[in-house]
Amino acid sequence: MKNYQIEKGLGSKTDPELISGLMRDLKLPAQEVKTLLDYVTDGIKKNLEINGVVNIRKFGRFYICKRKRARFKNFKGVTVEIPISYSVKFKASSTLRSMVNRSLVVNKGKALRDKSRI
């Protein structure tokens, strides 16, 4: 497994940045990397739709969570009802959490200070 360092100003990755980084690391053409990335994300989506959960070893778990119906009064005093809905949540594996914590300790939280959001 490749050891990635948190660099100053790294920020979040967009698709083109992620594809170019994987092209460089895997030494594959852009179209193959894009196809591979699409295959993985589509697989996660399909498995969530069918099973409601996707476990990726040493990375984490995606799962569907049900939100309850809610009622509240808005500032005008009108009762508003929010219907039942579903959302996708992610729980990082202990391996991923410990890797992130180690890298932040080594860099003394530099990545957190350099970013405006996390």
Within-domain flag for 22: yes
Q: Which residue range forms the structural domain that includes residue 23?
A: 12-51
Total structural domains within the chain: 1
Bridge partners (DSSP) of residue 71 are 81
Residue with tokens 């992620």: 18
- The answer to whether the pTM exceeds 0.85 is no
Within-domain flag for 1: no
Return the closest-CA partner of residue 43 out of 76, 35, 104, 99: 35
Return the closest-CA partner of residue 59 out of 29, 93, 91, 14: 93
Within-domain flag for 19: yes
Within-domain flag for 47: yes
pLDDT averages per 10-residue partition of the chain, 118 residues: 45 75 88 91 94 94 94 90 94 92 72 52
Look at residue 118 in the predicted model and tell me its pLDDT.
44
DSSP symbols for 60-81: EEEEEEEEPPEEEE-TTS-EEE
